[in-house]
Amino acid sequence: MSPYDPRWDGALDALESEVDHLELGLASGDIDQVDMSGVWEPPRDLPVLPDALADRARGLAERIMAAEQQAREIRDQLGAELNQLGTRRDAAAAYVSHDSPHPTHG
């Protein structure tokens, strides 16, 4: 059994706040809410996660994984839409020679 260190509450509160912002950004489409700061690491001065907080930490990990999956799906969807736009633009491209004579109206 791991000893309980109350500093873990603050560390998990901070992580939960980051996850809340990520989920809000994904739900609203507000890219400014989606922080891509990288992998969260607990403060190095904390002991092993107390057993009493294991369920909370697991729940946060599940939320993070779900948000990451949703972010990947959105990225893939946007990539596909950009490819379609590029394909349509290429198909609609036309070249006009500015050196050709203009028709005259009589």
- Each residue's pLDDT tens digit, 44-57: 899 989 989 999 99
What gap in Å lies between CA 78 and CA 67, rounded to an integer?
A: 16
Does residue 85 belong to any structural domain of this protein?
yes
Per the structure, how many domains does the chain have?
1
pTM as predicted? 0.68
Which residue numbers in the chain have pLDDT < 70? 1-2, 31-39, 88-106
Does residue 67 belong to any structural domain of this protein?
yes
Does residue 105 belong to any structural domain of this protein?
no
Does residue 32 belong to any structural domain of this protein?
yes
Question: How high is the pLDDT of residue 55?
Answer: 96
Does residue 17 belong to any structural domain of this protein?
yes
* Two structure tokens written together for 93: 């491209």
Does residue 73 belong to any structural domain of this protein?
yes
Q: Which helix (H) or strand (E) holds 88?
A: helix 54-92
* Full domain range(s) for residue 83: 7-91
Question: How high is the pLDDT of residue 42?
Answer: 79
